[in-house]
């Protein structure tokens, strides 16, 4: 074994490039799972339907309802060339006679072709509605459905002459040879159709044997309308959808998103907001690719240089998306590390994709405190950049504005955000230990005089980022332990100094990743042992109206895969054996929804939904 370790270093000096699978042409005919229960593909003459992949998420309260009306916006396919240009269609709003209060975007996709990974977005006149990534196709292709509540964008759906665009971007080096079929429709529901608490729906693969149980602790049929309203309206900051949404995005021919290549790449958009604006929220969409797809696993430059590693995955592990107004920093986001279809171990994500892969989270930055700066009827520049970023990030934003009947007076009191960063690392050869800790604090207060009186809003935010990366065993083992915690507090008081609201939001995103590689010289391949334990926890509480809601989504993936070991960049998965265990819990004052899904070697062995939560 010692002798082989030496061979390993010679064969695989680029441990960092092994963590991503970027093969343009893997062998599709090989059994993907060593212990596969669905190996019966030896003689397929019948047309096997593409399996459906899915993300474990909360069913929408509209899922079982009949829409009041719907608009099929797009039904098209991406071929070779359109994959880089995108599809643009004219959007026709729903009939004016249609009464609706909730809107749902339904995105259906089917892909047939080589293993291929891409990121996609859906925009309406530059306002982003969805950021989504693609699933890995099987021999029979793959299909998936994303349903997203887009009520917050209601103000644009009634407008005429808008362009809806879908852009798909290839993330691999390979040539795009497949066919990617996309349908986009908008479903509009009336208040009456919205059911609460969340109903149990099955939107998953019909091909997989599901073991679904429903346990209901109480019957909640006679939901009081008042409570329904209260729950639906507790979705801060979009209790009521904005009156106007201004896109902070690029040109249509660039696909609307800003492609950010490094820290100095600051993208600005000039905006002039109506002086009647009494509330403003910037919603940020962000995804990371290329050298920064796994930014949280990147070692510092000195390590890369000392070991002469020809990899672009550098610059350490600190990244932060910065939002500026006229060059002044007003808010920051450290995003949830979404793992795409080929990430860490591609076998993990079949057919249940990783947290957020089909509906990447967006991030809200309350800009109400900055209305004193923005609402003077002058042009202001909103800037987006990625601190410490390397190529490339796809970033854009929607500026949601709520308007009053008459002009609003606003004053801002603002302190420059503070930031502490600590880097500590030591390494010898390929082995080392790297630690990064960041603490960011933002504070701003505004006084807004509108038709509803004087309101003082104080927003404070604290972001704590801790990243610990260990590289051991001659560079063949990599261990990450990371936690991102964002706490936002909003306090509102009226002109008399009385409290009119207190909101607290907390987002906790821990992740642990282990990647171990062991060369099998006789097989001309490498055995990679991998694990991902990740959680997305988000809670919201409004003490005054005793509203609280909490989301806890966990995934625990373990397993190994054999990758072709002939070339460092051209490696591909030969096969493997994996498990993916996910649990999802959503609680609010009306009840709880929980779902547990267990996947072994690409087969869903258990899928249980309950209306009770265990912990």
Ligand X SMILES: *[C@@H]1O[C@H](CO)[C@@H](O)[C@H](O)[C@H]1NC(C)=O
Residues that bind ligand X (CB under 6 A): 40, 42-43, 75, 79-80, 95, 97, 108-110, 143, 160-161, 181, 183, 524, 533, 556, 558, 564, 566, 579
Of 407 and 564, nearer to ligand X (C-beta) is 564
Give the Cα separation of 308 and 303 in Å (integer).
8
Angstrom CA distances, 421 to 255, 317, 348, 436, stand at 34, 11, 33, 7
Contacts of 341 by beta carbon, 8 Å cutoff, 6+ apart: 117, 133, 134, 135, 136, 349, 353, 357
Residues 6+ apart with CB under 8 A from 506: 485, 486, 487, 488, 537, 538, 539
The distance of Cα 569 from the centroid of its chain, to the nearest Å, equals 27
How does DSSP classify residue 343?
B
Nearest-approach distance from CB 143 to ligand X, in angstroms: 6
Indicate the residue among 313 and 552 with the shorter CB distance to ligand X: 552
Of 369, 361, 356, 359, residue with least CA distance to 281? 369
Residue 6 phi/psi, 5° resolution? -65, -45
Burial code (b: 16+ CB inside 10 Å, e: under 16) for 405-424 equals eebbebebebeebeeeeeee
Q: Which is nearer to ligand X, 97 or 264 (CB)?
A: 97
> Is 335 in contact with 320 (CB distance < 8 Å)?
no
CA distance 390 to 212: 44
Q: What are the backbone dihedrals phi and psi of residue 155, each rounded to the nearest 5 degrees, phi first?
A: -60, -25
Q: How far is the CB of 50 from ligand X (least distance, A)?
A: 9
Instruction: State the minimum distance, in angstroms, from the CB of residue 600 to ligand X.
Output: 9
Shortest spacing between CB 108 and ligand X, in angstroms? 3
Given its phi and psi angles, is residue 470 left (phi above 0), alpha (psi -120 to 50 degrees) or beta?
beta
CB of 343 to ligand X, least distance (A): 18
Nearer to ligand X, 79 or 495 (CB): 79
CB of 578 to ligand X, least distance (A): 9
Nearer to ligand X among residue 39 and residue 272 (C-beta): 39
Q: State the Cα–Cα distance between residues 578 and 576, nearest whole angstrom.
A: 7
For ligand X, the closer of residues 287 and 582 by Cβ is 582
Closest contact distance (angstroms) between CB of 399 and ligand X is 22
Nearer to ligand X, 284 or 480 (CB): 480
Considering beta carbons, is residue 291 or 343 the nearer one to ligand X? 343
What DSSP line would sit under 192-216, residue for residue?
GG--SSPPP---S-SSSPP---EE-
Q: How far apart are the first and last CA of the chain?
A: 46
Q: Return the exposure string of 565-585: e unless at least 16 CB atoms fall within 10 Å of the residue's CB, then b.
A: beebeebbbbbbbbbbbbbbb
Q: What is the closest distance, in whole angstroms, from the C-beta atom of residue 499 to ligand X in the complex?
A: 40
CB of 93 to ligand X, least distance (A): 9
C-alpha 61: how far from its chain's center? Answer: 21
Q: Least distance from C-beta 397 to ligand X, angstroms?
A: 25
Distance of alpha carbon 422 from alpha carbon 569, whole angstroms: 33
Give the nearer residue to ligand X in terms of CB position, either 82 or 587: 82
Closer to ligand X by CB, 410 or 532: give it. 532
Which residues have CB under 8 Å from 538's CB, separation 6+?
505, 506, 507, 508, 550, 551
Instruction: Please report how close the Cβ of residue 456 comes to ligand X at its closest, in angstroms.
Output: 40
Q: Least distance from C-beta 570 to ligand X, angstroms?
A: 8
* Residue appearing with tokens 């880097």: 423
Residue identified by tokens 């080392």 is 432
Nearer to ligand X, 451 or 567 (CB): 567
Residue whose CB is less far from ligand X, 95 or 452: 95
């Amino acid at each position: 074994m010692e002798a082989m370790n030496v061979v390993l270093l010679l064969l695989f000096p680029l441990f960092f490039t092994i963590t991503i699978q970027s093969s343009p042409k893997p062998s599709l005919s090989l059994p993907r799972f060593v212990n596969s229960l669905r190996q019966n593909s030896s003689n397929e003459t019948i047309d096997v339907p593409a399996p459906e992949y899915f993300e474990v998420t909360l069913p929408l309260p509209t899922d079982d309802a009949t829409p009041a009306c719907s608009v099929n916006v797009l039904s098209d396919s991406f071929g070779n060339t359109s994959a880089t240009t995108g599809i643009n269609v004219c959007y026709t709003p729903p009939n004016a006679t249609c009464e609706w209060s909730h809107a749902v975007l339904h995105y259906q996709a089917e892909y047939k072709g080589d293993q291929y990974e891409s990121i996609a977005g859906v925009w309406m006149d530059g306002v982003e509605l969805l950021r989504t990534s693609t699933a890995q196709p099987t021999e029979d292709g793959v299909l998936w459905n994303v349903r997203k509540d887009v009520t917050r964008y209601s103000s644009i759906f009634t407008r005429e002459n808008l362009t809806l665009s879908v852009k798909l971007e290839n993330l691999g080096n390979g040539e795009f040879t497949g066919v990617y079929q996309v349908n986009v429709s908008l479903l509009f529901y009336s208040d009456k159709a919205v059911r609460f608490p969340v109903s149990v729906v099955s939107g998953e693969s019909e091909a997989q044997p599901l073991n679904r149980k429903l346990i209901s602790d109480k019957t909640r049929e006679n939901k009081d309308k008042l409570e329904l309203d209260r729950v639906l309206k507790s979705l801060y900051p979009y209790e009521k959808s904005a009156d106007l949404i201004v896109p902070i995005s690029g040109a249509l021919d660039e696909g609307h998103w800003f492609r950010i290549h490094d820290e100095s790449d600051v993208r600005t958009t000039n905006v002039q907001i109506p002086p009647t604006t009494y509330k403003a929220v910037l919603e940020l969409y962000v995804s990371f690719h290329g050298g920064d797809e796994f930014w949280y696993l990147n070692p510092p430059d000195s390590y890369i240089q000392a070991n002469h590693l020809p990899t672009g995955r550098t610059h350490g592990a600190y990244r932060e998306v910065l939002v500026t107004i006229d060059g002044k920093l007003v808010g920051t986001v450290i995003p949830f590390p979404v793992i795409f279809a080929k990430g860490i171990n591609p076998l993990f994500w079949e057919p249940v994709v990783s947290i957020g892969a089909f509906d990447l989270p967006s991030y809200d930055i309350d800009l109400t405190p900055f209305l004193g700066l923005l609402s003077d009827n002058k042009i202001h520049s909103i800037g987006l950049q990625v601190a410490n970023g390397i190529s490339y990030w796809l970033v854009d934003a929607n500026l949601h504005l709520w308007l009053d009947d008459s002009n609003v007076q606003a004053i801002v009191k603002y302190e420059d955000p503070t930031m502490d960063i600590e880097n500590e690392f030591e390494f010898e050869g390929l082995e080392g230990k790297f630690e990064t800790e960041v603490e960011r604090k933002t504070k701003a207060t505004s006084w807004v005089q509108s038709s509803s009186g004087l309101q003082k809003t104080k927003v404070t935010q604290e972001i704590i980022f801790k990243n610990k990366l260990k590289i051991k065993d001659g560079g063949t083992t990599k261990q990450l332990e990371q936690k991102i915690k964002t706490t936002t507090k909003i306090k509102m008081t009226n002109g008399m100094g009385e409290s009119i609201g207190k909101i607290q939001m907390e987002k906790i995103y821990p992740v642990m990743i282990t990647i171990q590689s062991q060369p099998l010289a006789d097989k001309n391949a490498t055995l990679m042992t991998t694990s991902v334990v990740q959680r997305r926890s988000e809670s919201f509480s409004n003490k005054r109206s005793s509203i609280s809601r909490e989301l806890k989504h966990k995934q625990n993936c373990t397993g190994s895969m054999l990758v072709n070991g002939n070339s460092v960049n051209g490696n591909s998965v030969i096969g493997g054996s994996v498990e993916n265990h996910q649990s999802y819990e959503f609680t609010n004052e009306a009840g709880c929804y929980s779902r547990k899904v267990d996947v072994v070697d690409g087969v869903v062995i258990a899928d249980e939904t309950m209306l009770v939560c265990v912990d």
